[in-house]
């Protein structure tokens, strides 16, 4: 029977960590992820878990310790944000290439500089091509659920890759909401016991981790790693189906909301989907055919699912909570463009950069995006497909 609670997203993930009864957690504090290892260290001190908790001297060390634990045969996890994730950057690639299925809670926050401790997606997006699977939660409930599902996804023999389970800093990490926790026994059965395929301390075989990879072999190894990333998409669907059986909550790589007959659609990631759904409901009550596509799995990118979901729309706005300064748009927009590149039915497509550094995104801002799309269709196109939402000046 589900346990009804009122928790923040950070508390929810810390509870998921406790229920998974991890072998090793290594962490260094950084806002707004600090609460997760703080709560978890209390569980360790109170004897509620048998986890080895390693309070390291930096985020680089945290990831190094987690990778070392994984290749030694131990299930490991950590949490970080922003500059902490950036400090891990070297080890993110190492963990992915070693096929170490670390699960990390990433509490998204703007990258410095200028220094800012509030939410956007610039940290996760900057690390999106390091070989890590990325999941993004809209709510604390989703953060809890996705964190638990991440272990089955990461450790599946067809995948064997690390997972970044992301939620929006402060917006979901610190805001308290109603949530349903699964019973400890149910979680224990769901995540199971970690049974690594290859591990350094296995006395029955000889295994090397991290050797020099010459030009004669590296490309083949990267090809295998890339295939594992592609495998993650169907494996996630399988894991989500198993999770639905024990929780009643359904997940997929994308979520569609009122898209069946929608002429205008918004595509986005994370907590802003809640605001967008409210606007969609309001506009629908006025007879406007609008809808929303929320991306749950950003890496690997759900190309076919996105193309199908957008195939019936006339105009689409992709909202990015990070600006890569590429001159052509945000990372979500770029991937959506690729997804639609070979589609027979391609809608008008525009990009909005929004919410940087924690700037509020209010219902009237989302409504303005839908109104802009209506004007674009009426004018037969647009003058600029790289736009900023709720920003002062030119």
pLDDT for residue 394 = 64
Other C-beta atoms within 10 Å of 237: how many? 15
The contacts of residue 320 (CB under 8 Å, 6+ apart) are 121, 329, 330, 331, 332, 333, 351, 352, 353, 354
pTM score: 0.97
Q: Per-residue pLDDT tens for 198-246? A: 899 988 998 888 889 999 999 999 999 999 999 999 999 999 999 999 9
**Structure tokens that stand for 231 in this block:** 């495998």
Percent of the chain with pLDDT over 90: 93
CA 285 to chain centre: 31
Q: Per-residue pLDDT tens for 42-57? A: 999 999 999 999 999 9
Q: Per-residue pLDDT tens for 77-110? A: 999 999 999 999 999 999 999 999 999 999 999 9
pLDDT for residue 161 = 98
pLDDT for residue 381 = 80
Residue the block writes with tokens 């196109």: 381
Q: Per-residue pLDDT tens for 238-297? A: 999 999 999 999 999 999 999 999 999 999 999 999 999 999 999 999 999 999 999 999
Q: Per-residue pLDDT tens for 122-171? A: 999 999 999 999 999 999 999 999 999 999 999 999 999 999 999 999 99
């Amino acid at each position: 029977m589900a346990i009804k609670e009122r928790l923040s997203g950070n508390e929810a993930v810390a509870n998921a960590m406790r229920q998974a009864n991890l072998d090793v957690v290594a962490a260094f504090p950084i806002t707004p992820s600090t609460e997760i290892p703080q709560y978890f260290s209390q569980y360790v001190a109170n004897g509620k878990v048998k986890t080895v908790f390693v309070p390291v001297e930096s985020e680089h060390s945290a990831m190094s310790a987690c990778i070392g634990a994984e290749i030694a045969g131990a299930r490991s996890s950590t949490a970080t944000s922003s500059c902490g994730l950036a400090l891990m950057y070297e080890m993110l690639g190492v963990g992915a290439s070693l096929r170490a299925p670390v699960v990390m809670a990433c509490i998204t926050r703007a990258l410095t500089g200028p220094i800012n401790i509030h939410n956007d997606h610039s940290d996760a997006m900057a690390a999106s091509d390091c070989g890590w699977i990325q999941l993004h939660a809209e709510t604390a409930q989703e953060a809890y659920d996705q964190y638990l599902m991440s272990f089955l996804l990461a450790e599946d023999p067809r995948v064997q890759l690390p997972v970044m389970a992301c939620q929006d800093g402060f917006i979901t990490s610190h805001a308290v909401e109603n949530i349903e926790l699964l019973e400890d026994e149910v979680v224990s059965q769901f995540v199971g016991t970690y049974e690594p395929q290859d591990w350094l301390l296995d006395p029955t075989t000889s295994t090397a981790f991290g050797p020099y990879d010459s030009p004669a072999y590296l490309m083949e190894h990267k090809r295998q790693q890339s295939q594992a990333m592609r495998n993650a998409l169907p494996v996630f669907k399988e894991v989500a189906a198993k999770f639905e059986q024990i929780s009643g909550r359904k997940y997929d790589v994308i979520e569609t909301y009122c898209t069946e007959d929608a002429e205008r659609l918004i595509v986005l990631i994370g907590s802003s989907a809640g605001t967008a759904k409210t606007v969609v409901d309001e506009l629908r009550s006025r007879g406007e055919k609008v809808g929303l596509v929320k991306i749950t799995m950003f890496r690997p990118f759900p190309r076919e699912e996105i193309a199908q979901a957008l195939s019936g729309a006339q105009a689409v706005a992709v909202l990015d909570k990070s600006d890569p300064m590429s001159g052509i748009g945000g990372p979500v927009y770029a991937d959506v463009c690729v997804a639609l590149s070979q589609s027979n039915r391609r809608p008008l497509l525009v990009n909005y950069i929004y919410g940087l550094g924690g700037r509020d995104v209010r219902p009237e801002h989302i409504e303005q995006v839908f109104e802009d799309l209506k004007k674009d269709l009426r004018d037969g196109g647009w003058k600029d497909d790289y736009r900023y939402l709720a920003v002062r000046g030119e």
